Amino acid sequence: MNLPAKVTVKEVGPRDGLQNEEEHISTIDKIEWINQLSESGLSYIEITSFVHPKWIPQLGDAVDVAKQINRKPGVTYAALVPNERGLERALEADIDEVSIFMSASEAHNRKNINKSIRETYPVLSPVVQTAKNEGKTVRAYVSTVFGCPYDGTVEVDQALSVCERLFEMGIDECSIGDTIGVANPLQVERVLSTLSNHFPKDKLALHFHNTRGTALANVVTALQLGFTTFDSSLGGLGGCPYAKGASGNLATDDLLYMLEEMGIHTGVDHHKLLKSGEWIQHVVGKPLPSHHMQMLRSGGIQV
């Protein structure tokens, strides 16, 4: 099995996880959690979103969170930014990396952004330009690459077109998303083989959801193809926005267990990570869906 020696795990829990939580989480608790995450050895944390608080009230304290966390040297603190107004706030908060987002499928893009794919580019292009001019790196999320909750099948050419336009704008990395967790390893192999014919593998990250249990199988396929950057959310926080109670984001704790056992270096202290998972589980006040959080609750493992 041909595997990379090390992998970068990008923790998206404080943004992608918390934005789906109904329970109000205090700014103090968010700051404490992000500090715990950087202390665990994670080198990349997406800490909040500068989407207008009208849409995501949970993350309305984005500027305060960004300004008050401890900035650990070597850690990239990123945040989601939808447009130029959001970018202004992100720059004010001195975010290291800006994440923009759109979808590979027309219907999901329209539902999520209220624009066609074609109409989205002129909104994102000045965000990328200004962010780059300000010395920031830019990541783009491309959602629904492996399937769309409205359009169903998504052709790899649709993702390819969107990625091409985003890289032309000057983004540094593109995160390829299985937004509804339908991907299987064979499809992952096909899609990633095509994408890696057009873009360097180290410019692509994988953002798998575990809705149907296939996320780690998809990770292994991507590893074997030479991909080394994966997004995940501690404890699987956030669930599935399309099916309440179902699994959503791949869980950082489950991902790290598998990577470590396969001898792949991540730089993350699994023990500290699990402690932090227990802590945020207590804060959100409900059981988190990851396998390791299940094991901790059941006494199958201890930290």
Positions marked active-site: 240
CB of 224 within 8 A of CB of 185?
no
In the numeric block, the tokens 């305060």 are attached to 64
Strand 44-49 and strand 76-80: the pairing is: parallel
- Min separation Cβ 185 and a copy of itself, Å: 5
- Min separation Cβ 189 and a copy of itself, Å: 5
> Which one of the spans 24-32, 135-143, 181-189, 270-278 is the region binding a copy of itself (CB under 8 A)?
181-189
Which residue number, 72 or 212, has a Cβ lying nearer to a copy of itself? 212
> Which one of the spans 17-25, 151-159, 196-204, 238-246 is the region binding a copy of itself (CB under 8 A)?
238-246
Does 220 engage in binding with a copy of itself (CB under 8 A)? Answer: yes
Could you tell me the sign of the dihedral formed by the alpha carbons of 50, 55, 57, 58, in that order? negative
Q: In sequence order, which ranges of the chain are alpha helices (DSSP H)?
A: 27-39, 62-68, 84-92, 106-113, 117-133, 156-169, 185-198, 215-224, 252-261, 270-284, 291-298
- Beta carbons within 8 Å of 195's beta carbon, 6+ residues apart: 156, 159, 160, 163, 176, 204
Choice from 116, 170, 186, 198 touching a copy of itself (CB under 8 A) = 186
CB of 112 within 8 A of CB of 100?
no
Does 283 engage in binding with a copy of itself (CB under 8 A)? Answer: no
Does 28 engage in binding with a copy of itself (CB under 8 A)? Answer: no
Choice from 103, 247, 249, 266 touching a copy of itself (CB under 8 A) = 247
- Min separation Cβ 89 and a copy of itself, Å: 34
Q: Which of 158, 201, 159, 208 is nearest to 185 (CA)?
A: 208
Structure tokens at 64: 């305060």
- Beta carbons within 8 Å of 156's beta carbon, 6+ residues apart: 145, 190, 191, 194, 195
- DSSP string of 100-122, one letter each residue: EEEESSHHHHHHHHSS-HHHHHH
In the numeric block, the tokens 């390819």 are attached to 160
Structure tokens at 52: 């207008």
Choice from 122, 135, 263, 285 touching a copy of itself (CB under 8 A) = 263
Choice from 18, 162, 219, 274 touching a copy of itself (CB under 8 A) = 219
- Min separation Cβ 265 and a copy of itself, Å: 14
Does 115 engage in binding with a copy of itself (CB under 8 A)? Answer: no
Choice from 40, 175, 187, 232 touching a copy of itself (CB under 8 A) = 187
> Which one of the spans 57-65, 88-96, 217-225, 277-285 is the region binding a copy of itself (CB under 8 A)?
217-225
Choice from 257, 266, 284, 288 touching a copy of itself (CB under 8 A) = 257
Residues of this chain that bind a copy of itself (CB under 8 A): 1, 3, 182, 184-187, 189, 210-217, 219-221, 240, 242-247, 251, 254, 257-258, 261-263, 290-292, 294-295, 297-301
